[in-house]
Chain A
Amino acid sequence: MDADVIVIGAGAAGAAVSWRLSQAQLNVLCVEQGDFQSATSYPSSRSTWELDKLSSHHPLSSVRKGAFDYPINDSDSPIAIANFNAVGGSTILYSGHFPRFHPSDFRARSLDGVADDWPISYRDLEPYFSLNDQMMGVSGLSGDPAYPEITGLLPPVPLGFVGEHLAKGFNSLGWHWWPAYAAIVTRPIANRSICVNLGPCNTGCAQSAKSSVDVSYWPAAILNGVTMMVRTRARRLIEGDDGEIKGVEVMTTDGKPRTLTSSAVILACNGVGTPRLLLNSPSRKSKGQIANSSDLVGRNLMLHPLGYIEGLFEEDLQSHLGPQGCCILSQEFYETSTTRNFKRGFTFQVLRGPSPLETALSGVARREIDWGIAHHDMFRSRFGHVASMTAIIEDLPERHNQVTLDFRHVDSAGIPAAKITYSLGDNSRRMLSFALQRGRELMSAAGATKTYAFGPVRETGWHLMGTTRMGDDPSSSVVDRNGKCHDVPNLYVADSSVFVTAGAANPTSTLQAVALWIADGVIRDLRGQLT
C-alpha cells in the first residue's frame, strides 16, 4: 500500500482533512494536479500586478490556461466556474472572506419548507469551526448578533473610509452590519507575517498574511509526515470485486500512469472536480459510475449567484486601499422572512472599491469615463470614490443544475472535461432582484450620488457546492453524514460537494469545518481496521 489514506486535492478541504488525519498518526498521501506556489511570485510583488490579474492569475482557467488547469465547459451557465489548481487550491486566489453558515442553514426543510435538512447541525460543527479558525488564522470581532457566539478571533481588518461610510448607511437604515470575518492574519501567529494592506488578496498574498491553506494547514501537515504528490492528476478510481476502491489511477505531468493504493480514499477536489472524477470512474456495481447508484453524482450544483452593487461618492473614500473583498458584511437579509417573496436569504459583502485599471476599464465600458480631453477628470472623479459590494444569493438545490462530462474536451492527461449546466431558479431570481434594490438603497443612504447594480455576475463561480450531497437515505444522497459514500465503504468525500444547501455565506469556513468532521469519522473507521 502507498498509504493508509489517499487524499485527492490539496485545497481548502484536502489540507484540513490531511492535517487532521496526520494528527492521528495515519499515513497520508495527498495527490494534487497543481504545484507548490511561491508567495514572492504573486502579482502584488510587481507594480504591474493588475495585468497578471487579467492573465496568469485570472479566476477562470479558460482565460488563465495554466499548465495544471483542466477544461470546464460552462457555456450552458450564466455563471462561469472559477478555481485555481495548486497546493492551496482556490484559497490561493480567494479573498479570504470567512463567515460561517448559520444554524438555520442546516434546517432549511424544517424551517422554510425548501431544499432539505442536513443530517448534521451547526452544533455538531461548532468545535470544528473553532479549531479551523485557530488553524487558519481568522480575524473579526466577537459579539455579532447575526451568529451564536464566535470567540478566538484576531482583531478585524481596517474598515477604511469606505467601510465606515457604508456602516453609517447601514445604521441609518437600521440594518445589520459587522466587520468582516477574514482569513487574514492581523496579529502574529505561527510565524506568519501580519497583513500590511497590499490590497489584491485575490491574486495571491505575497505577504502570506492571507490564510490560504499552503501557509496555514500544509506546513503543519507536512511536518506531521503527510506526503505530497504534486503535478499529478487523478484519472479514475478503480473498483475492486468487493465494491471497494482498490486503487487510484494517476497520471504524472511527464505522462507516466501509475496506480496508487490505500485503505481509504478521500476526494477533496471541489464541487466540480469531485463529481468529474467520480463520473470518469466506471463501476459495475453502481449505475455506470462509482458511488452513483442514486444518480445524484454531479446533480444539485449550487453556485451562489452574485449581485454587484456600487455607489459613487463625492468624497474620496480611498476605496482602492485595504484587503479587497474583506471590509464589512451585512446579514440583515440572511434569514427567511414571510414579508418577502422568496425563501432563504443573502449576505452583503462589501468589497471596498476597484483598482486603477479596473476603474478605467469599467468606467470606459459603461461610458462613465470618456475618451479625449475629459478622460483624466472623469477618471479622478471615480477612482477611490466608488464603493462596491456583492450580494451572495443562496441558490436552492435543483436536480437539473449539474456537472456532467464533456468528452469533446480533455485535459493534458486525456481526462474528459467537466460540463456545467446551470440556470437560476425562480426563488434565486426574486431574491437577486430584491438584493439589488436593497443594495442601491444602502448606497444612497450612505450618500452615493449615483448607484449601479446588476446580476448575476458571470465570472464569479467560486462557490461550488452540492454535487455529492450528504444524507442518511442512500436513494436521495451520495454520502452519509460522515462523508462516506453509501455505495463504497472505503471512499469518502470531504469538500463542499457534500453540502445539502448553500447557505448565503462564502463556503470555505463551513467546508473546512465539515472536512474536519469527516476526517474524524475516517479516523474512527480506520482505527478499527488498522489495529
Chain B
Amino acid sequence: MTFNHPSLDAVLDFMIPADHHRGMPGGSKVRIADVLPLDVTEQTLINLALHLESIVNAHGKELRFLAPQEFWGIINSHRQVTDSVVRELGKWLLMAYYTDPRVRDSIGVGARAPFPNGYAVHDGDLELLEQVFERGPIYRKIANDK
C-alpha cells in the first residue's frame, strides 16, 4: 500500500519525482509498506520525513511550497544530519520503486517474473577466441605427475 501522509509523500516525490513521459510514477505512488520488515513501520518513515521537514522549516520554508532544487539545497547543506535519514528512507523507497511493475515495464525488464519464459541473450562471437587459442597452453605442466 501507499501512504497518505503529506510530509512523507512530499519527501518521497522529491527523492524520485514522477516521469510521466516514461510512465514512471513518483516515489509516493509505490507500495513501500509491502517491502518493510516487521521492525520498520509506516510511523518510522513518517518520523524520518518529519525530521527532514523540520530542517526545511528551520530555514523558514514550507515543504509543500518548495521547488525540488530548493529542497535538495537545504537538505544537502545539512548533510551531517540528513545523510543517514535520506539513506534510511531511500533504501526502502528504492526497494519498493524498482520492484514496482510500472517501473520495471518502463526500464525494459517487464513486470513479469523471470520464470518461466526467461530472456533472450546474445550468443556472442566465439571466433574472438581464435587469438587466445593460437597462443597455446598457459598452464604449468607438472613433471612426473603420477
Contact = CB atoms under 8 A, between A and B. Distances in A.
Contacts of A146: 137-139
A197 B122 CA distance: 11
Interface stretch (B1-9, B42-50, B53-61, B98-106): B98-106
A196 B113 contact: no
A376 B145 contact: no
B126 A207 contact: no
| Residue among A111, A176, A357, A371 having the largest count of chain B Cβ atoms under 10 Å | A371
Contact of B113 (A45, A106, A171, A320): A45
A238 B115 CA distance: 46
Contacts of B118: 195-199, 207
Contact of A46 (B94, B113, B129, B146): B113
B126 A141 contact: yes
B90 A49 contact: no
Nearest to A193: B116
Interface residues of B, number: 59
Contact of B140 (A102, A158, A163): A102
Interface residues on A, range: 35 or more
A356 B129 CA distance: 31
A44 B104 contact: no
Given A318-B122, A375-B17, A207 B99 contact: no
A146 B136 CA distance: 9
A164 B128 contact: yes
Given A146-B139, A318-B122, A361-B94, A373 B145 contact: no
B114 A178 contact: no
Contacts of B81: none
B74 interface: no
Interface string A343-376: 0000000000000110111001100000111011
A104 B22 contact: no
A322 interface: yes
Interface in B79-105: 86-87, 90-91, 94-95, 97-99, 101, 103-104
Contacts of A318: 121-122
Nearest to A383: B107
A322 B22 contact: no
A331 B135 CA distance: 13
Given A103-B145, A171-B132, A356-B98, A179 B140 contact: no
Contact of B145 (A121, A167, A371): A121
A133 to B, nearest CB: 18
A454 B115 CA distance: 33
A331 B137 CA distance: 11
A45 B95 CA distance: 18
Given A123-B142, A167-B129, A372-B71, 17 more contacts: A45-B115, A46-B113, A54-B95, A103-B142, A103-B145, A107-B142, A122-B145, A141-B129, A158-B121, A159-B123, A164-B128, A176-B135, A196-B117, A197-B121, A357-B98, A371-B14, A372-B15
Interface of B: 14-17, 19, 22, 24, 35, 37, 68-69, 71-72, 86-87, 90-91, 94-95, 97-99, 101, 103-104, 107-109, 111-126, 128-129, 131-133, 135-142, 145-146
28 contacts: A42-B115, A45-B115, A47-B104, A51-B35, A51-B99, A123-B145, A124-B146, A145-B138, A159-B126, A164-B124, A167-B128, A178-B129, A179-B126, A198-B114, A198-B115, A199-B118, A318-B122, A321-B120, A335-B138, A357-B95, A360-B97, A361-B91, A364-B94, A371-B16, A371-B72, A371-B90, A372-B17, A376-B24
